[in-house]
Amino acid sequence: MHTPIVHPERTKVALTRLVAYMLLVATAIWLTACTSVGGFVITGETLDAAGKAFVQVGQTYNRELDAKRITVDQYRDWAVFARKFQQAYPSSVQLWKSSVAVNDAALTKKTNEIITSLVTELSRLGAVVGVQVLPGAR
C-alpha cells in the first residue's frame, strides 16, 4: 500500500482553475437566463415598429406609382416582398405571443431573426422611395 504524494502548490493551482471554470460556467448560465421581460418588450416593440414601417413604405409606394415617380418594375419588386411580409407578419406576432406565454427566450430569438430579415429587406425597398426604416422606432 502506498500513500499518495500531495503537492500543495499543484492542489492550489488545480483548485484555482476549478473555481475559475465554475465562475465561467455560472456567468454563461446567467447570461443565457437574462432574456427576461425586458427582452420580450424590446422584441414586441420592434415587431410593432416593423409592421408600422411596412405600412408607411407601402403607402408611399402606392402614391409614387400613382404619381408615376417610380417604374412598374420598381413597384413589382416591392409587391413581391410585400406579399411575403403580409404572410410572415401574423406568424411572427403569434410567435412573439407564444414566447411570452411560455416564457421562452429561444422563441424570442427566432422572432428576432425573422424581424431582422424582414426589416433588412424593408429598409432596402424603403430607400427606393425615400422612406427610412428604423427598427425599434415607434
What minimum distance in Å lies between the beta carbon of 1 and another protein?
Answer: 27
What minimum distance in Å lies between the beta carbon of 4 and another protein?
Answer: 21
Three-class SS string for 31-84? HHHCCCHHHHHHHHHHHHHHHHHHHHHHHHHHHHHHCCCCCHHHHHHHHHHHHH
State the cell numbers at 96. Answer: 412573439
Q: Which of 43, 51, 63 is nearest to 113 (CA)?
A: 43
State the cell numbers at 27. Answer: 456567468
**CB nearer another protein, residue 1 or residue 33:** 33
Single out the segment in contact with another protein by CB under 8 A; choices: 2-10, 12-20, 46-54, 128-136: 46-54
Q: Tell me which residues touch another protein (CB under 8 A).
A: 25, 28-37, 40-41, 44-45, 47-48, 51-52, 54-55, 58-59, 62, 65, 72, 75-76, 79, 82-83, 85-86, 89-90, 93, 96-97, 100, 103-106
